[in-house]
Copies of this chain bind each other. A is one copy, B any other.
């Protein structure tokens, strides 16, 4: 059985939601995307994140999508489901539903309305109460998306108060100092050690974050093998190779991290790589211009050349 726990590491890929050209949910592509992801070597999947297209799904579509992903994964890797919700009743309902379907755990970010340290701590007391003592969960720290700034001290307090919080998803920026401090707290024995996966800037600081003690990454990228290979190289002690691989993909990763248009970029590449049938972003959403496509072609060609030089292409 795949339950999430504190020893999680490697790459939990945040997947896209595939749609057909007409905007309908594409369940066949969902299967292909799962296969594509697992073949790249990721150690987990994350679906229904707070960015991306989850909010564009109806409640019914969400359920269908989660079910299909879990069926296709079939227990091979843990699947985390985003459960941040406007209200605790919905959070509880969604959590129960996805855990019953076989999710490994849920991920929760603070509601955009909380501001002070006391409000944040009270919010996660309610989260613990809502999720109960069985469901493992991931604390997501993503101030750009939520508007909520959690200080290191607050994060440590939440972890202390939350026996079932097994992972910290680190997306604050600048966040390297926070990451170091949270890792140091468990190294010094002040706190049980939780898994730390990072998504800062969509993985744009991955090698530095591994050096600081991150256990891997949880984010999306059209070339998940980059993150897999960077983590693997770092894990086997080949720090230079980790940076070499990262640098080879960085120009494209940077381009894919543009707000808003980034999702269209990612889906375009995933479609070109055969992971999904259509690059369609459900309306309202961006589409790529001829100049955007020219940018991408140039970046991909340069990336392939660089990987070949480094003998890094798979």
Contacts and interface: CB of A to CB of B under 8 A. Distances in A.
Interface stretch (A38-46, A222-230, A288-296): A288-296
Tier of interface size on chain A? 35 or more
Contact of A115 (B59, B115, B153, B174): B115
Interface string A155-189: 00000000000000000011011001000000000
A89 B116 contact: no
A88 B284 CA distance: 8
A308 interface: no
Contacts of A153: 118
Question: Which one of A61, A89, A292 has the highest number of Cβ atoms from chain B below 10 Å of its Cβ?
Answer: A89
A289 B205 CA distance: 17
- Interface SS of chain A: helix
Interface in A216-260: 243, 246-247, 250-251, 254-255, 258-260
Contacts of A204: 254
Contact of A284 (B55, B122, B177, B250): B122
A21 interface: no
B119 A60 contact: no
A298 interface: yes
Nearest to A129: B283
Given A93-B59, A291-B176, A251 B247 contact: yes
A76 interface: no
Given A115-B115, A116-B117, A117-B151, A243 B212 contact: no
Contact of A116 (B90, B151, B208, B251): B151
Given A56-B88, A89-B56, A283-B88, A211 B123 contact: no
A126 interface: yes
Contacts of A123: 284
A57 interface: yes
Contact of A154 (B56, B116, B261): B116
A255 B292 contact: no
Contacts of A306: 247
B59 A59 contact: yes
A204 B270 CA distance: 24
Given A59-B93, A177-B289, A247-B306, 10 more contacts: A58-B92, A59-B59, A60-B93, A117-B117, A117-B154, A126-B284, A176-B295, A211-B294, A211-B295, A243-B302
Interface of A: 55-61, 86-90, 92-93, 115-119, 122-123, 126, 149-151, 153-154, 173-174, 176-177, 180, 204-205, 208, 211-212, 243, 246-247, 250-251, 254-255, 258-262, 282-284, 286, 289, 291-292, 294-295, 298, 302, 306
10 contacts: A59-B90, A87-B282, A117-B117, A117-B154, A119-B149, A174-B259, A174-B262, A176-B291, A177-B292, A211-B291
